[in-house]
Amino acid sequence: MKTVTIAGQQVPQTAALAPMASVADTSYRLLCRKHGACMTTGELVSAKGLCYGSKGSAELCRITPEERPMGLQLFGSEPEFMEEAVRRILPFQPDFIDLNMGCPVPKVVNQGAGSALMKTPELAETLMKAVVRAADGACPVTVKMRIGWDEQHINAVDFAKRMEAAGAAAITVHARTRTQFYSGRADWNQIAAVKQAVQVPVIGNGDITCGADAVRMYAETGCDLVMVGRASYGNPWIFEEIACALAGEPFAAPAIPARLQEMLLHIRMILERSEKSEQLAMREARKHALWYLRGYPGAAAFRARSATLNSYAEAEALVQDYLHHAGRREAP
């Protein structure tokens, strides 16, 4: 299998897991790594939150060995806070620090952070320089950007060049504008244009839903690595599928019972890691259960049940009932 070096980490040239706040937490990242994600990035962390000693922000920086190579992602818009946040994040020993210049949510954008930085490339450059300086060679700094603020202001190439000049060791391009949020098509031509324009590795992101999409993104953009977000919902096997597609090998999708066992494992991992009561932690697990149950024949009623799960025992019962129901459907 081919390998590629991204921000000092030599990894199989398959697919990385995208950072996803409130979704790709420790349990999720561990499962995706187990199924072949070649690297991971943590959920975005507020630089200010870290500087003010927020417990929640610090918790987002915890890394377990099996998640590595793993980057920690910072967002902010003030160089002093970013520098101090780097000093606070380094003890967690991230394999790289990623700067978020793509988040579209108003809470982040209204602070001039996330994708708002696509509108202020000089400030983005200042932030990158400040973070690289503060990291002081202890770990590489990368950036995750969009292709522009809106369709009238596509500035991916100029922006990426600035990031490279300011010291970015790799550049992830989520090929949408801010105003697209997560809808509309990702414009992979912009990933190709960035790849042509910079020397550092380029990671392509947006709209990979299957192995064939990953093969096509590599071929059409020349990117060094691809990154997958939403297609991994309830489907950590997407990384195995991509590895098979790249190797030209057939991929045998796991059967429903195996998928549901993995769902139960995922729920156990969430419960084991949570400091909340089982009932509260199950609220976080529900969306994952729903995702694992997507697309199964006759599963609509079971999906509805996943939205009310209050305990692990209820999740186990749901799986038993579904398998019983599916078995009956298949019986002659």
Ligand X SMILES: Cc1cc2nc3c(=O)[nH]c(=O)nc-3n(C[C@H](O)[C@H](O)[C@H](O)COP(=O)(O)O)c2cc1C
* Shortest CB 316 distance to ligand X, Å: 27
Q: How far is the CB of 298 from ligand X (least distance, A)?
A: 28
Q: Is 103 a catalytic residue?
A: yes
Which CB atom, from 23 or from 58, has the smaller least distance to ligand X? Answer: 23
Looking up tokens 């299957």, which residue turns up?
210
Among all chains, which residue has been given the structure tokens 């202890």?
138
- Quickly count helices (H) and strands (E) in the chain: 14, 11
| DSSP H helices in 121-237 | 121-135, 156-165, 188-197, 211-221
Q: Any contact of residue 264 with ligand X (CB under 6 A)?
A: no
Angle at alpha carbon of residue 174, lines to 232 and 103, rounded to 5°? 90
Whole-number minimum distance, CB 62 to ligand X, in Å?
Answer: 15
Binder to ligand X among 71, 79, 148, 229 (CB under 6 A)?
229
Q: How many CA atoms lie within 13 A of 151 on its CB side?
A: 5
CB 293 within 8 A of CB 257: no
Q: Do the Cβ atoms of 17 and 66 come closer than 8 Å? A: no
Active-site hit among 38, 51, 61, 103: 103
String of contacts with ligand X for each residue 67-106, x by CB under 6 A: ------x--------------------------x-xx---
Q: Which two tokens stand for residue 58?
A: 């610090």
228 forms part of the interface with ligand X (CB under 6 A): yes
CB atoms within 10 A of CB 91: 9
Q: Shortest approach of ligand X to residue 44 CB, angstroms? A: 3
Residues in the chain: 332
Angle 154-158-161 from CA coordinates, rounded to 5°: 140
Is 108 a residue that touches ligand X (CB under 6 A)?
A: no
The DSSP-derived string for 98-119 is EEEE----HHHHTTT-GGGGGG
- Give me the residue whose beta carbon is nearest to ligand X: 229
**Count of residues interacting with ligand X (CB under 6 A):** 22
Beta carbon nearer to ligand X, 44 or 326: 44
Q: Does 44 bind ligand X (CB under 6 A)?
A: yes
Q: Least Å distance between CB 102 and ligand X? A: 5
Nearest alpha carbon to residue 208 among 168, 170, 246, 258? 246
Is residue 144 at the binding interface for ligand X, with CB under 6 A as the rule?
yes
- Tell me the window of 17-25, 254-262, 290-298, 308-316 that interacts with ligand X (CB under 6 A): 17-25
- Ranges assigned E (strand) in the chain: 3-6, 9-12, 15-17, 40-41, 45-46, 70-75, 96-101, 141-145, 171-174, 202-205, 225-228
Q: Which stretch binds ligand X (CB under 6 A): 226-234, 262-270, 271-279, 296-304?
A: 226-234
According to the binding rule CB under 6 A, does residue 286 interact with ligand X?
no
Decide whether 13 or 172 has the Cβ nearer to ligand X.
Answer: 172
**Shortest distance, CB of residue 324 to ligand X, whole angstroms?**
33
Q: Which is nearer to ligand X, 238 or 299 (CB)?
A: 238
Part of the chain binding ligand X (CB under 6 A), chosen from 13-21, 115-123, 263-271, 286-294: 13-21
Contact partners, residue 207, CB within 8 Å, separation at least 6: 175, 185, 186, 188, 213
- Shortest Cβ distance from residue 219 to ligand X (Å)? 17
Q: How many angstroms separate the Cα of 291 from the Cα of each of 133, 146, 235, 322? A: 41, 26, 8, 15
Which of positions 166-205 make contact with ligand X (CB under 6 A)?
Answer: 174, 182, 205
Of 4, 11, 23, 123, the residue at the interface with ligand X (CB under 6 A) is 23
Please report, as ranges, the residues that interact with ligand X according to CB under 6 A: 18-21, 23, 43-44, 73, 100, 102-103, 144, 174, 182, 205-208, 228-231
Catalytic residue positions, numbered: 103
